[in-house]
Homo-oligomer: A and B are copies of this chain.
Amino acid sequence: MKKEDIEKCLTDYKSGRMSLADAMDKIENSNCANMGFANVDLNREARQGFPEVIFAEGKTAEQVTEIMATLVERSEKNVMASRVSADKAAVVQRKIKNAIYDSESRILYVKRDTSPVDEAHRIAVLTAGTSDIPVAAEAALTAELMGNAVDRVYDVGVAGIHRLFAHEKEIMAANVLIVVAGMEGALASVVGGLTAHPVIAVPTSVGYGASFHGLSALLAMLNSCAAGVAVMNIDNGFGAGVLASKINKLR
């Protein structure tokens, strides 16, 4: 409950516009749409600037549909679900007609926000290899749905470092950078050394053997010798997109 709401609640109650019971109730029972299996955080848009995003893994298509429908009804913003399988998406789309499914990023979304994007403040999303693209795509589309201009720079890993330098323009122009890499994750350090802007590193589970499902890239990124590189969970493109958006909108 925000400060002004507390104040209004207190003054309403004092003035008699609200009963004691109602005032207590209001404080105790606001901000969630409880559906039994899920407790949708309707207050999140107010707090965080974007409605709650549905993490579809481990939820049934029916649960995703119901939550998405609620969010669509209660918010004017874009609504999105992440980690949606093609099968689940098809089920949801039968009910929510204007939902769009992006198979690369596995994001299902309803786009309603038509406000113009600030093209001067751009987010660059880089990948080391081709196999890192799904995670990068999740980051990029998330950031776009939250209203950011995004540049995609794919397959520029350090084994052929001239490929990276060929994109110096996008890198230097970016306000915020997301670096997505598996295996040894070295790209984050190299990019972090080139730019003065914030770098968000996303390790991926790409690799085999001693990559231990992304552990090698995770540890490498946490130990980056380039100061000011922050790290997300393995394969967490979504979180990187959210954070990049938060940073990109600061003025």
Contact = CB atoms under 8 A, between A and B. Distances in A.
Contacts of A31: 160, 162-163, 166
A227 B192 CA distance: 22
A13 to B, nearest CB: 7
Interface residues of A, number: 115
A95 B89 CA distance: 33
Given A129-B225, A218-B222, 6 more contacts: A47-B196, A55-B131, A184-B221, A210-B223, A215-B219, A227-B242
Contact of A159 (B185, B192, B215, B245): B192
A230 interface: yes
Interface of A: 1, 3, 6-7, 10-11, 13-14, 20, 23-24, 27-32, 34, 36-39, 41, 43-44, 47-49, 52-53, 55, 57-59, 63, 128-131, 133, 154-163, 165-166, 168-169, 175-176, 182-186, 188-190, 192-198, 200, 203, 205-236, 238-239, 242-243, 245-248, 250-251
Contact of A158 (B36, B207, B226): B226
